[in-house]
Amino acid sequence: MQQKLLIKDIAGDLGVSKTVVSWVLNGKADERNISTATRERVLKYAEEHHYQPNFIAKSLSLGKTNTIGLIVPNIADTFYVQVARTIEIEAEKRGYSMVYSSSEGSGSKEELLIRLMSSGRVDGLIVAPTRKSRREFENMVSNNFPFVLIDRYFPELNTNYVIQNNHQGIFDLASYMMLKKRERIAIITTEMHLLAMQARVEGYRQVYEQSGLAFDEEWIKVIDYDNLFHDLFSALRSLVFPKLQIDSILFATHYLAIEGIKILQEFGVDMPDKIAVTSYGDDNCFTMVRPKITAMQLPFAEMGRSAVDILVPRIMDRDMERKAVVIDATLTVRDSC
């Protein structure tokens, strides 16, 4: 295999300095007053010997990669897929490429990815944090490294973030269910260590507080994400059998709704006559099942655009004031409630 030609090789063969070769190859010959003859010799030699520049080394020397990093908990989650696509499109408009990876909900993997990406491989980061790796975010704040949190954030840290209005979204969804004469609403949620999930349960509670209707704490079911299928099956069975306790179910995430609807169908539950179903978060499959599922549309496009709108100027000016953006979800009414 032929050895890769380096700038020092060109310089040695032509009897000029590495700096001169670098200036010529980077298009700076005129501003550095390099003679036409020397410029032509360098360019001709590089072409004849098929010189390929080392873009990584170049980006490090310039201190800029024109790349944005994205880290999310689950790259297979349709919500994050949609957010990632928007970020990629918006980044390209501004001359940036995007690299992304999944932390798989692991704090240690998230820390590793943050360290790798922020060590010169990207100009800025967009992260949906696990809340298990606060230390790395504190380090980025201390080092003034440009980053934006999406979907989740740390209230105690002064960071840029773009989140959903989780509390209001669940409040609006549960309020709509009550307008449809559903008064015994169960909520099924997960990952209560996340502020987003806490806000959704708080929004659910507030609907009952304001309505004056009574509710049972047993209607709040918290699922362990690592045992999702087992816990979800048990939770739904306890709500449906031996006697139907509730008249509706609000799934706090779209993936809980997808799996929960399958289980309810296995149980033979008549939806929506016996149990109405709604989801905080939409999915393409919700229009293909019967009944079609009423859901809150999450603002993935607005989140992605806002994150890039905040990050790119901060890459240019790291002393910019930090921004917080909260975006509302919108209700899509279908047949399930």
pLDDT in tens, 48-76: 887 766 654 555 555 578 899 999 999 88
Residues 170, 160: one domain? no
Which residue matches tokens 């390099």?
34
* Residue 12 resides in a domain: yes
- The β-bridge relationship of strands 67-72 and 97-102 is parallel
pLDDT at 1 over 50: no
CA 211 vs CA 56, 184, 198, 214: distances in Å: 60, 12, 20, 9
| Residue 329 contacts residue 203 (beta carbons within 8 Å) | no
SS3 label, residue 296: strand
Is 2 inside a domain boundary? no
Q: Which two tokens stand for residue 318?
A: 């790291």
Pair (289, 309) in one structural domain: no
Q: Please, what is the Cα angle at 272 between 271 and 273, to 5 degrees? A: 100
Do 86 and 201 fall within a single domain? no
Taking the C-alpha atoms of residue 270 and residue 48, their distance in angstroms, rounded to an integer, is 75
CATH number of the domain bearing residue 146: 3.40.50.2300
Range with lowest mean pLDDT among 27-31, 149-153, 254-258, 306-310: 27-31
**Amino acid identity, residue 238?**
S
Asked if residue 107 is part of any domain, the answer here is yes
Q: Which of 118, 126, 117, 144 is nearest to 318 (CA)?
A: 144
The mean pLDDT of the chain is 91
- 283 and 316 housed in the same domain: no
Q: How many domains is the chain partitioned into structurally?
A: 3
User: Could you tell me if 154 and 180 lie in one domain?
Assistant: no
CA 158 → CA 31, 142, 147, 154, 162, distances in Å? 42, 10, 11, 8, 13
* Together in a domain, 44 and 152: no
Task: List pLDDT tens digits, range 241-286.
Answer: 988 889 999 999 999 999 999 999 999 999 999 999 999 999 999 9
Does 226 lie in the same domain as 208?
Answer: yes
pLDDT one-digit tens code per residue, 91-143: 999 989 999 999 988 888 999 999 989 887 899 999 999 877 788 999 999 99
> 20 is in which domain, residue-wise?
7-53
Quote the DSSP letter at residue 118.
I
**Could you tell me if 69 and 189 lie in one domain?**
no
Residues 157 and 269 in one domain: no
Q: Is residue 60 part of a domain?
A: no
Helix (H) or strand (E) holding 167: helix 166-179
> Has residue 333 been placed in a domain?
no
